[in-house]
């Protein structure tokens, strides 16, 4: 219904599809999305996480237990090694001591495995509880957004927020909360243990960390251009495939299959070459990090050996044993691991926060204005409608309706015709309060519609659109959509009035027939008849027919016209039509031009007048315009 406006592009960034980018943490890090307001987004996200406070606290306690056990492991291993000694040239082993340490290690690691399993369950539960609330709040917000918002934002972006963005938040919570907490505790615990065992060796272990950061940062900058280009080429390739599939009939009709294949091959080849470069340079990070880690290991082993052998009598080497050195070597590995964990979670966290920011941006949009409180009385309602000096534009600099005034009597059939962009659908948008006029007012039975509850206004108005909306449900439930408490007899009566009963009864499951998404297992004409049946069942006082027959053949149109004659009886009706032959019986036909009424009257009067309507009708009758 938005023929007079062009939706401005959304500013919301696109969300990558799963599997769409380069693999591995480094590839992900190259393409991490970042929120514009990190602090505010993080605070709001934690407010959702905090609603599962008991689970969160239990999870953090378990992470503390597991991490503590992990930190204790190398110390116990060192103690076990030190039970092996050479005394007076003889090899001795304190089996009782060794057994004690080994049993203790076994108990700790077994308990740690069980706790880790429980930790995983709690992480999943925390994530799902959080996104359950977020998804519910987001859907509730979308359900109450104004039509102007949904018209001016890409539907794909809103769907992406409901699916991809929420899923990214879920992944981040399930993976990153426990990981980051564990990494921080591990860093602090390992550093404390290393300093306790040997401050000098701890200092040597820290030497390689600035080198690691320097190398990884510069390598990441170098690789970023390849990963960015890869994402662009992947998006181009996906667009090419989507266009090919959606426009397949056109491609085949023009014999462009070979050209389409060649274009795809060129795009795929560029992606292949770029991906190879990205993978090659991206794969350098692992070996380099391993080299630096091994370099640290060698330096510590040499230093520890020299200190133990040459400087054992000095404070810097005092107390060093093979077991102690082994513990420090293990701790050095554990020290770099949390740093890598945090780096690898960077992309996940930033992407999730960027997604959460988009979710919160939708949630912060104002709800549709519903300032009216008055309820329309079905029994007393007549259906007299007046548009008084309406000025309106979807954007301030372009006025669609200019000083538009129209009076419609109860039960009258008003047809609205005009060129694309003349304001036909805008009149309906304003009557339904999808948009509000900049000036002027609209009344129903003398009451300003801004004083009427939107729910009441729309409950007494039914719209039959050109593009019929049907749900993946039974035919009966689709007809019942506007009046959910209707009986089967009422549904059947409405279908009979709409001339939909005859084809429905011939279906194997009748009214229980399950429709596919959009009702694509029915013909266009059958879908239109079901939409009319839905409107009949709702029994509105005001009826709007918006290009209801423009996309069906002439024979089907005749059937729909008969159904609409039944539907229009006793109702104030607005008919927007492109085929002028369908509105000959309208009580009044108004011709819009540049947002104003160029002429009005019934069919005979307008033909006799020889104006805009007469010219257009004669062209259509001659077959020049269809």
Contacts of 566 (CB under 8 A, 6+ apart): 497, 498, 499, 536
| Cβ 594 vs Cβ 583: under 8 Å | no
Q: Phi, psi (5° rounding) for residue 391?
A: -120, 130
| Fold (CATH) for 465-537 | Rossmann fold (3.40.50)
CA dihedral 538, 540, 546, 548 (to 10 degrees): 50
CATH 3.40.50.720 fits 33-197+342-368, yes or no: no
| Cβ 571 vs Cβ 413: under 8 Å | no
Find the mean pLDDT for residues 125-151: 86
Q: Between these two residues, 547 and 117, which has the higher pLDDT value?
A: 117
Find the mean pLDDT for residues 361-367: 85
Lowest-pLDDT choice from 115-119, 202-206, 209-213, 276-280: 209-213
Token pair recorded at residue 595: 């947002």
Nearest to 172 by CA among 358, 346, 50: 346
Mean pLDDT comparison of 21-35, 363-377, 454-468, 546-560, highest-scoring range = 454-468
What pLDDT score does 314 carry?
Answer: 66
What pLDDT score does 154 carry?
Answer: 74
Q: Between these two residues, 525 and 445, which has the higher pLDDT value?
A: 445
User: Does residue 26 have a pLDDT over 70?
Assistant: no
Rounded CA separation 260/424 (Å): 39
What pLDDT score does 11 carry?
Answer: 36
Class of 380-460+540-626 per CATH? alpha beta
What pLDDT score does 17 carry?
Answer: 34
Angle subtended at Cα 607 by Cα 561 and Cα 384, rounded to the nearest 5 degrees: 60
Find the mean pLDDT for residues 563-568: 77
Confidence category of residue 239, pLDDT binned at 50, 70, 90: confident
User: Does residue 445 have a pLDDT over 80?
Assistant: yes
User: Does residue 29 have a pLDDT over 70?
Assistant: no
Find the mean pLDDT for residues 33-40: 75
Find the mean pLDDT for residues 143-154: 78
Q: What sign does the dihedral 23-27-29-30 (CA atoms) show? A: negative
What pLDDT score does 33 carry?
Answer: 62
What pLDDT score does 6 carry?
Answer: 38
What pLDDT score does 2 carry?
Answer: 39
Give the CATH H-level superfamily of domain 199-319: ABC transporter type 1, transmembrane domain (1.20.1560.10)
What pLDDT score does 171 carry?
Answer: 84
What pLDDT score does 574 carry?
Answer: 92
What pLDDT score does 365 carry?
Answer: 84
Q: Phi, psi (5° rounding) for residue 522?
A: -120, 160
Looking at the chain, the whole-number percentage of residues with pLDDT higher than 90 is: 12
Domain ranges of the chain: 33-197+342-368, 199-319, 380-460+540-626, 465-537
User: Does residue 395 have a pLDDT over 90?
Assistant: no
Nearest to 580 by CA among 522, 625, 535: 625
What pLDDT score does 551 carry?
Answer: 57
| Cβ 160 vs Cβ 74: under 8 Å | no
297-348 residue pLDDT tens = 888 888 888 888 777 666 666 667 788 888 888 888 777 777 777 766 777 7
User: Does residue 412 have a pLDDT over 80?
Assistant: yes
Which letter does DSSP use for residue 21 in this model?
A: S
473-516 residue pLDDT tens = 899 999 998 888 899 999 999 888 888 888 899 988 899 999 88
Kindly write down the DSSP assignment for every residue of 367-417, as one continuous string: BPP----BPP-TTT----EEEEEEEE-SBTTB-SEEEEEEEE-TT-EEEEE
Mean pLDDT of the chain, nearest integer: 81
What pLDDT score does 34 carry?
Answer: 67
User: Does residue 217 have a pLDDT over 80?
Assistant: no
Contacts of 419 (CB under 8 A, 6+ apart): 593
Q: Phi, psi (5° rounding) for residue 124?
A: -65, -40
Lowest-pLDDT choice from 217-221, 531-535, 538-542, 554-558: 554-558
What pLDDT score does 27 carry?
Answer: 46
User: Does residue 387 have a pLDDT over 90?
Assistant: yes
CATH fold match for the domains 33-197+342-368 and 380-460+540-626: no
User: Does residue 259 have a pLDDT over 90?
Assistant: no
Find the mean pLDDT for residues 142-155: 78
Residue with tokens 């104002």: 366
Rounded CA separation 387/403 (Å): 9
Rounded CA separation 575/566 (Å): 14
613-623 residue pLDDT tens = 888 888 877 65
Nearest to 417 by CA among 586, 169, 199, 605: 586
Rounded CA separation 616/73 (Å): 88
User: Does residue 386 have a pLDDT over 90?
Assistant: yes
Helix (H, G, I), strand (E, B) or coil at 8: coil
| Cβ 142 vs Cβ 61: under 8 Å | no
Q: Between these two residues, 618 and 581, which has the higher pLDDT value?
A: 618
Which letter does DSSP use for residue 164 in this model?
A: I
Find the mean pLDDT for residues 403-407: 91
What pLDDT score does 370 carry?
Answer: 67
Contacts of 332 (CB under 8 A, 6+ apart): 194, 205, 296, 297, 300
Find the mean pLDDT for residues 181-207: 84
User: Does residue 23 have a pLDDT over 80?
Assistant: no
């Amino acid at each position: 219904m938005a023929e007079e406006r062009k939706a401005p592009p959304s500013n919301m960034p696109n969300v990558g599809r799963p599997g769409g980018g380069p693999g591995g943490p480094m590839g992900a890090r190259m393409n991490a999305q970042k929120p514009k307001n990190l602090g505010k987004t993080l605070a709001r996200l934690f407010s959702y996480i905090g609603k599962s406070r008991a689970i969160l606290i239990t999870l953090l306690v378990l992470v503390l237990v597991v991490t503590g056990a992990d930190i204790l492991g190398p110390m116990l291993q060192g103690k076990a090694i030190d039970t092996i000694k050479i005394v007076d040239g003889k090899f001795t082993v304190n089996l009782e001591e060794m057994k004690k340490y080994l049993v203790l290690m076994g108990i700790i690691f077994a308990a740690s495995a069980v706790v880790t399993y429980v930790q995983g369950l709690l992480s999943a539960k925390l994530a799902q509880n959080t996104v359950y609330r977020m998804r519910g709040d987001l859907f509730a917000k979308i359900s109450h957004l104004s039509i102007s918002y949904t018209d001016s934002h890409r539907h794909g972006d809103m769907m992406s927020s409901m699916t991809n963005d929420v899923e990214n938040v879920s992944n981040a919570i399930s993976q990153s909360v426990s990981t980051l907490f564990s990494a921080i505790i591990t860093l602090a615990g390992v550093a404390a243990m290393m300093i306790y065992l040997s401050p000098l060796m701890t200092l040597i272990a820290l030497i390689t960390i600035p080198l690691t950061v320097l190398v990884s940062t510069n390598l990441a900058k170098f690789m970023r251009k390849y990963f960015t280009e890869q994402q662009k080429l992947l998006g181009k390739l996906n667009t090419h495939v989507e266009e090919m599939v959606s426009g397949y009939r056109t491609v085949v009709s023009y014999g462009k299959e070979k050209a389409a294949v060649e274009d795809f091959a060129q795009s795929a080849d560029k992606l292949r070459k770029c991906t190879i470069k990205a993978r090659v340079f991206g794969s350098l990070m692992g070996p380099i990090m391993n080299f630096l880690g091994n370099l640290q290991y060698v330096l510590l082993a040499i230093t520890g050996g020299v200190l133990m052998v040459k400087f054992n009598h000095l404070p810097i080497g005092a107390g060093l044993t093979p077991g102690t050195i082994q513990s420090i070597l293990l701790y050095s590995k554990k020290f770099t691991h949390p740093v890598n964990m945090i780096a690898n979670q960077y992309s996940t966290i930033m992407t999730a926060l960027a997604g959460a920011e988009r979710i919160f941006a939708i949630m912060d949009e104002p709800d549709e204005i519903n300032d009216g409180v008055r309820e329309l009385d079905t029994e007393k309602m007549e259906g007299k409608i007046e548009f008084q000096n309406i000025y309106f534009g979807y954007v301030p600099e372009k006025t669609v309706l200019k000083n538009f005034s129209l009076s419609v009597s109860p039960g009258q059939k008003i047809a609205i015709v005009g060129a694309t962009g003349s304001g036909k659908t805008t009149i309906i948008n304003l009557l339904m309060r999808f948009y509000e006029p900049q000036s002027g007012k609209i009344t129903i039975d003398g009451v300003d519609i801004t004083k009427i509850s939107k729910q009441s206004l729309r409950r007494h108005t039914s719209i039959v659109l050109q593009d019929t909306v049907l749900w993946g449900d039974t035919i009966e439930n689709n007809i019942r959509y506007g009046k959910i408490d209707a009986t089967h007899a009422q549904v059947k009566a409405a279908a009979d009035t709409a001339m939909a009963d005859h084809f429905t009864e011939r279906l194997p499951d009748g009214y229980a027939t399950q429709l596919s998404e959009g009702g694509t297992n029915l013909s266009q004409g059958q879908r239109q008849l079901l939409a009319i049946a839905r409107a009949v069942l709702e029994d509105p006082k005001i009826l709007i027919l918006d290009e209801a027959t423009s996309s069906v053949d002439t024979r089907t149109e005749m059937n729909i016209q008969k159904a609409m004659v039944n539907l229009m009886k006793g109702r104030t009706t607005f008919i927007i039509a492109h085929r002028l032959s369908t509105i000959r019986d309208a009580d009044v036909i108004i011709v819009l031009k540049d947002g104003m009424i160029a002429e009005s009257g019934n069919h005979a009067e307008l033909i006799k007048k020889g104006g805009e309507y007469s010219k257009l009708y004669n062209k259509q009758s001659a077959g020049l315009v269809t």
